[in-house]
Amino acid sequence: MGLVVWIIFGLMVAITARFLRVATTIALGAVGALLGGLVGQVFGWYGAGHSLRFAMALAGAVTLLILFRHILRWPSHA
């Protein structure tokens, strides 16, 4: 019976770890998008409603996620 409990506990830990990784990825993407969107406005490349802001936000999010993945050496699969 003890082995079954440890297997169930291991599965619960694995599910929790996977959720935390997804939550971290979402948070990093949001922060990167915010930074990327604000960089262009600070440098005066576009205004608040310009469509280029979306591209900069996307580039900021992708850049931050790539940097974070290389720093922590995350595997490429989720």
pLDDT in tens, 6-54: 677 677 777 776 776 777 778 888 888 888 888 888 888 877 777 787 8
pTM of structure: 0.64
**DSSP codes of every residue in 37-66:** HHHHHHTTSS-TT-THHHHHHHHHHHHHHH
Instruction: Tell the residue number behind the tokens 């595997």, with chain if given.
Output: 75
DSSP annotation of 73 reads: T
78 versus 3: the higher-pLDDT residue is 3
Residue 53 exposed, middle or buried by CB count within 10 Å (0-12, 13-18, 19+): buried
